[in-house]
Structure 1
Amino acid sequence: MAVTTARGRVRFGEWQTWYRVTGDLDSGRPPLVVAHGGPGSTHDYLLGLAALAEEGRPVVHYDQLGNGGSSHLPDRGADFWTVSLFLDELDNLLSALGVSDGYALLGHSWGGMLAARHAAGRPPGLRGLVIASSPASYPLWLREMKVLRDRLPPGVDDTLLRHEAAGTTESHAYLKAMRCFYDRHVCRLKPWPREFMASFYEIYNDPTVYFTMNGPTEFHVVGTLRDWSVVECCPDIAVPVLLTSGRHDEATPATMQPFADLIPDVRWEVFEESSHVPHIEEPERFRAVVSGFLDGLLA
């Protein structure tokens, strides 16, 4: 079926949040709102999820503040870029689009942690939540990054450690070694798809948020989020939750286990041929799993 696409920006304080709606928000079906990773990435690598709108369910993508089509604020310091800021932005978007009384939420990676924290506040309009390849805490994430790094080919982690210690993480040697990790645990497709590359280009076009909150790479988290966790709020999530991850994911089972253990109504789907982006690596199956979960919310 043919679906419409609308793009725009909503005011968020002094700034603007860019969004894209695929489908009709007046269809009577709760929209799926998609929160991207990073923090500091963009919606581009998750655009394939717009195909869910072909079933009559509207899908909302947005770029979080600081990147993509939203306001860029490269002069703001670490005290500005907080979890609360992005929670407020999400609430503002839901209200501005008129969907806060009925919606589902999918958060990928950092976006999944953000979505979990949002859900723990028990917003009355939230119908269900998909936490996709997200750690429950950054301390867990960092512990598992060491496990994965230790399994890289001989010499790769030595190169990474040497440049991290020297502060030369933008060097060609570091980036080459980094790619070895990414090809194993972030996206296993070769070549990397265009939509996946688009989000990388956006991060490096303006790395303010990513470098401040995360750090120079997925596995060297030295930013303000390095001690952040949503483990303590998992029992407060009162809607059905679908966990998804890839068999080769940098979000290892250990990083996601607290979600499975502590959220009251939860199930977990593992994608055997995927790493961190099953929605790109196994798109048909991913859409089918998510679609089935969302349909179940209406039953």
Structure 2
Amino acid sequence: MQRETRLVPFRDFQTWVQITTPDTTRRGTLPLFVLHGGPGMAHDYVANIAELADETGRVVIHYDQVGCGHSTHLPDAPPEFWTPDLFVDEFHTLRSALGIDTYHLLGQSWGGMLGAEIAVRRPEGLRSLAICNSPASMKLWVEGAAELRAQLPPQTQDALDRHEAAGTVTDPEYLAATMEFYRRHVCRTDPFPQDFLDSEAQMEAEPTVYHTMNGPNEFHVVGTLRDWTIVERLPDISAPTLVVAGEFDEATPATWQPYVERIPGARGHVFAGCSHCSHLEKPEEFRAVIAAFLADHEDTP
């Protein structure tokens, strides 16, 4: 595979993009855009999805959404700046700059939420949508997280509750309790893969987007996305849609079921033994499922 990186102008900023091209391109295959999560977690932890380039003979495009990774950082932007519409606009600006009119879209976690936001607008060139480990509303996400928290050891629950009430969410005891949740429901690979650690490290170094839109961690959601929902708009999605999740995912079935129930023709797939980062826990199986779905929705058989 060949990788090219570049910076694409977006408003007054720049979006970093990585384009992975297979050694041999298969006739009829369409480019795949990969949308990372967070918001603000950068592309590193979903980098292995680029293997689909050689495996399927298609171009795979990753990019760091504005505010994180190699793209322009905006630590002084006001909270109201960070909206789903901003990232929808960024996606189409990037896509147009690359001269791509027809494409597949895959989003993981927040990336799947963003993918749904793009798809409900029915862009002409969208051939398929893969929503991976994503909730259809943050209310459902918080409810699911509360159910999973209730399954943690009592002392872990107590540490989380005490420090959230006190506002001491950077205390080592709180961070250790958070890690217990992560090991169960975010990534069950031990140790965590380096790609995952790289995304975490860049977010912690400059957490503006994640802390503003989400909050201090995956289950204490106090940011601007806390009231986000796309449930009522899902019937507007016309692109073929695959919804995937892990058996132990922090995105519990109740959070992603609306995608399957409300998007016409959508289907779901659950990866046994996996959690939120199914693509890191069972990478070959994950890519095989995605590759089969993409193959069903190319322009040319």
Following the alignment from structure 1 to structure 2, what is the Cα–Cα distance between the partners of residues 26 and 92?
A: 28
Offset at 1:25? Answer: 12
Output the TM-score relative to the length of structure 2: 0.96
The 2-side partners of 1:110 and 1:86 are apart by 11
CA RMSD of aligned residues (A): 1.3
Q: What amino acid sits opposite 2:41 in the alignment?
A: S
Q: Is the 8 A contact 1:25 1:58 kept in 2?
A: no
Tell me if the contact between 2:39 and 2:209 (Cα under 8 Å) persists in the aligned partners: yes
Structure 2 residue identity aligned to 1:7: T
Q: What corresponds to 2:225 in structure 1?
A: 225
Alpha-carbon distance, 1:127 to partner: 0.2
Give secondary structure in 1 for the equivalent of 2:188: coil
Letter in 1 for 2:67: G
Q: Which residue of 2 aligns with 1:19?
A: 17
Q: Which amino acid aligns with 1:269?
A: H
Structure 1 residue 59 corresponds to structure 2 residue 47: no
Q: Once structures 1 and 2 are overlaid, which stretch shifts more, 26-35 or 56-65?
A: 26-35
Match for residue 5 of structure 2 among 7, 13, 22: 7
Paired residues of 2:38 and 2:210 also in contact (CA < 8 A): yes
Determine what percentage of the aligned residue pairs are the same residue: 52
* 8 Å CA contact retained: 1:117, 1:233: no
Structure 1 residue 29, shift from structure 2 partner: 2.6
**Counterparts of 1:109 and 1:216 in 2: how far apart (Å)?**
16
1:24 deviation in Å?
A: 6.1
2:98 aligned partner? 97
- What is the CA–CA distance in structure 1 between the aligned matches of 2:226 and 2:43, rounded to whole Å? 23
User: Could you say what secondary structure the match of 1:196 adopts?
Assistant: helix
- Number of residues paired by the alignment? 296
Code of the aligned partner of 2:274? S
Structure 1 equivalent of residue 184 of structure 2: 184
Code of the aligned partner of 2:188: R
Q: Which residue of structure 2 lines up, in the alignment, with residue 78 of structure 1?
A: 79
Query: 1:270-289 maps to which residues of 2 (within 5 A)?
Result: 270-289=270-289
Residues 114-263 of structure 1 aligned to structure 2 (within 5 Å): 114-263=114-263
Establish whether residue 69 from structure 1 lines up as the match of residue 70 from structure 2.
Answer: yes
Q: Per-residue CA shift, 1:97-145, capped at 9, x if unaligned?
A: 111x200000011110110010010000000000000000000001111
Q: 2:154 aligns to what SS in structure 1? A: coil
Superposed displacement of residue 4, structure 1: 1.2
Q: State whether residues 2 and 23 of structure 2, in contact with CA within 8 Å, keep that contact through their aligned partners in structure 1.
A: no
Q: After superposition, what is the alpha-carbon deviation per residue over 1:146-185, rounded to whole angstroms, capped at 9, x for unaligned?
A: 1000000121111101101111101100000000000000
Please identify, of 101-110 and 17-26, the stretch whose mean Cα deviation from structure 2 is larger: 17-26
Tell me the secondary structure at the aligned position of residue 276 of structure 2. coil
Write the letter of the residue equivalent to 2:75. P
Q: Partner amino acid for 1:220?
A: H
- For structure 2, the 5+ residue unaligned runs are none
Give yes or no for contact 1:25–1:31 (8 Å, CA) kept in 2.
no
Deviates more, 1:182-191 or 1:24-33: 24-33
- For 1:256 and 1:86, how far apart are their aligned partners in 2? 21
The runs of at least 4 consecutive aligned structure 1 residues that moved more than 6 Å come to: none
1:284 & 1:24 partners in 2: Cα distance?
A: 17
25 and 126 in structure 1: CA distance in 2 versus 1, 3 angstrom threshold = farther
